[in-house]
Amino acid sequence: MKFFNDLADFEAAEINDLVAFARDLDQRPQPRALEGKVLALLFLSPSLRTLASFQSAMTRLGGGVFVISPDMSIHSIEARSGIVMDGAAAEHIREAIPVIASYSDAIGIRAFAKRERLSYDLEDSEFRAMTSLVDVPYINMESAINHPCQSLADWKTMDDLGIGTHGNRFVLSWSWHPQPMPMAIPAATVHMAALRGMDVTVLRPQGYQLPGTIMARAQEAARASGGTVTETADRDEAMQDAQVLYVNSWTSQHHYGDARAEEDFKHELRYWLVDEPWFSPSKKNCYFMHALPARREVTVTDRILDGPRSVVIPEARNRMLVQMAVLHRMLSES
């Protein structure tokens, strides 16, 4: 495996194989599989689960990591092209990334959306510019518009819960959040559920439609898998017999890059807070999923997050397990 950037790069059988391998590595440890192998972790955005789960994954397989983050004791890093570097930044990403990669057998990169121009983020321009500088295998640890490690963990989480694929209803709901959040998780999630062949509904208020390119990509995946993708602002309709309510926050495409305008726009949407009444239209045992971190009593109530519907902890643990499978496939033959 030369890169792990997008679930769309894999056949469903390959995804199922990775999930099965993750389960196997959980039960039958391979503590020498990657001995002497090094994973570089480059964080241009903050992290907890990703930082911890990748370190743990490499240790469990006998390898190691090093972590580079501009917050650490390094020179600040410039990313713009053609710049005259006479300011604070001492290092350009055009050297930093190939150098870091040259010390590693694979590199994981996290770089959130800039949230300035929508088209720039939708095309994942920054992430592509960075991976073009790398000649070792790379892993997308969340880019402007994708988060394949989260999606693979979510896929395994649903398998673990016995939630099937075709004909099973998956609801991705927007939720209120005090800040304008990126679209990586909703874009990755709607696509992942569509790839599984589920009946996917995006539930969101007016103004929070996902961009057309994201929806079109998910619908194309659904056509191939036998699933469906629809969207609605009607909560009861969306939640009808839902088996999963997956919650995330994202910024409005209509106010992209304008935090003030969005704040005004979403001012009256604070009631969009997930709580028990949301689940009543479903006659199924509907689970609550969230990639974390989740803002308590803002995005979701304590009683949901701490209650029996929530699977957020095993969902987070699956990050580590599926990443072990990816790393093993990527590095054990190299």
Window 283 to 322, contacts with a second copy (CB under 8 A)? 292-298, 302, 305-306, 312-314, 316-317, 320
**Number of Cβ within a 10 Å radius of residue 313:** 9
Q: How far apart are CA 276 and CA 285, in angstroms?
A: 13
162 near a second copy, rule: CB under 8 A: no
Closest distance to a second copy from the beta carbon of 43 (Å): 6
For the segment 31-60, give every residue that binds a second copy (CB under 8 A): 31-32, 35-38, 40, 43, 46-49, 51-53, 55-56, 58-60
Q: How far apart are CA 279 and CA 221, in angstroms?
A: 27
Q: How far apart are CA 57 and CA 37, in angstroms?
A: 12
29 near a second copy, rule: CB under 8 A: yes
Contact 37, 103 (CB under 8 A): no
> CA distances (Å), 179 to each of 113, 124, 214, in order?
13, 21, 21
Nearer residue to a second copy within complex by CB, 36 or 162 = 36
23 near a second copy, rule: CB under 8 A: no
For the segment 229-288, give every residue that binds a second copy (CB under 8 A): none
Closest CA to 243 of 178, 182, 193, 291: 193
Closest distance to a second copy from the beta carbon of 161 (Å): 16
153 near a second copy, rule: CB under 8 A: no
Among 11, 13, 27, 73, binds a second copy (CB under 8 A): 73
Nearer residue to a second copy within complex by CB, 82 or 162 = 82
Nearer residue to a second copy within complex by CB, 92 or 284 = 92
For the segment 85-124, give every residue that binds a second copy (CB under 8 A): 85-87, 90-92, 94-96, 98-100, 102-104
First CA to last CA distance, the chain:
10
From residue 179 to residue 198, the character string flagging contacts with a second copy as x (rule: CB under 8 A) and all else as - is --------------------
Q: How far apart are CA 4 and CA 207, in angstroms?
A: 32
Judged by DSSP in three states, 238 sits in helix
β-bridge partners, 289: 246
